């Protein structure tokens, strides 16, 4: 029994995320390396091993989180079993992204507030503002940018409770997106 408990404890400790404080103002490579971006100073970052993802937060992921992710075009929407393609219009990409997110149990009620064209690292992108209520009825907002660069589909996402956190930390996210430069 003790051995099982020790094993479970080890497993728990191994799975604990290693968060590191962002203390440099230089641009760093975004996941996949197609662009560089300046991360918010003083926040903490976590790069899950073996993934093209980078998560950033200030007060904890439930308070606010920024997620930078990269996938191959073929693997862009794995749950929908759909690929992204350069020939797609940006609103098509945005619709697929939202449909992919809706496959998550907690996001089935996600609604689009607005989509519009944008530019990230000099590349045409979509900007989608979304909202949903979590199981306790708390309104959550998501702002995401998505674009195709070379052979990759990139998403820069900011999610926070509408109350207090979203509006407070949105400028930090927008500043980070503006800082993105093609590599």
Partner 1 sequence: MRSYTIIAMALWACIVHAEKLVPFNSTEIQSVLAPEENRVWAQAEEIKQSIEKSDKLVTDNAIRVYLHAIADKLYPELRNKVHIHLFRAPHLNAFALPNGQIYLNVGLIARMENEAQLAALLGHEIAHFSYRHGHQQSQQVKSATAFARFVTLLGLPLIPDLLAISSIYGFSQELETEADEIGFERMVRAGYDPREAVRLFRLLQIEVKALDITEPFFFASHPKLQDRIDNFERLIREKGITDGEHSEKTFFEQIAHLRLHAMELDLAHNRYQPIIILLEAQSNLDRYPPEALYYLGEAYLRRGQEGDLQKAIKSFEQTTASVPTFALAHRALGMLRYKDRTHETAIPHLERYLELAPQAKDRAFVEHYLLEARKVHKP
For the bound state, the minimum distance from the C-beta of residue 179 to partner 1, rounded and expressed in Å, comes to 23
d(CA 112, CA 101) in angstroms, rounded, equals 12
Q: How far is CA 94 from the centre of its chain?
A: 14
Query: Torsion over CA of 132, 125, 170 and 101, rounded to 10 degrees?
Result: 20
Site for partner 1 in 112-141 (CB under 8 A): 112-117, 126, 133, 135-137
Q: Which is nearer to partner 1, 79 or 150 (CB)?
A: 79
Closest alpha carbon to 173 in 152, 159, 153, 163: 159
175 binds partner 1 (CB under 8 A): no
Please list, in sequence order, all residues whose beta carbon lies within 8 angstroms of the beta carbon of residue 111, skipping any fewer than 6 positions away. Answer: 130, 131, 132
Q: Could you say which residues in the range 59-88 bind partner 1, by CB under 8 A?
A: 80, 82, 87
In whole angstroms, the minimum distance from the beta carbon of 104 to partner 1 comes to 8
Q: Which residues bind partner 1 (CB under 8 A)?
A: 80, 82, 87, 89-91, 96, 98-99, 102-103, 105-109, 112-117, 126, 133, 135-137
């Amino acid at each position: 029994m003790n051995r099982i408990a020790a094993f479970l404890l080890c497993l728990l400790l191994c799975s604990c995320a290693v968060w590191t404080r962002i203390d440099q103002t230089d641009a760093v490579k975004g996941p996949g390396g197609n662009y560089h971006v300046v991360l918010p100073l003083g926040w903490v970052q976590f790069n899950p091993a073996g993934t093209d993802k980078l998560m950033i937060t200030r007060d904890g992921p439930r308070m606010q989180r920024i997620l930078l992710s990269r996938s191959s075009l073929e693997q862009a929407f794995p749950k929908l079993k759909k690929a992204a393609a350069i020939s797609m219009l940006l609103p098509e990409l945005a619709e697929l992204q939202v449909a992919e997110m809706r496959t998550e149990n907690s996001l089935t009620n996600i609604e689009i507030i607005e989509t519009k064209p944008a530019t990230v690292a000099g590349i045409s992108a979509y900007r989608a503002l979304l909202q949903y209520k979590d199981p306790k009825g708390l309104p959550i907002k998501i702002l995401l940018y998505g674009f195709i660069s070379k052979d990759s589909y990139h998403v820069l996402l900011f999610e926070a409770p509408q109350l207090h956190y979203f509006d407070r930390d949105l400028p930090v996210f927008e500043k980070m997106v503006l800082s993105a430069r093609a590599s």
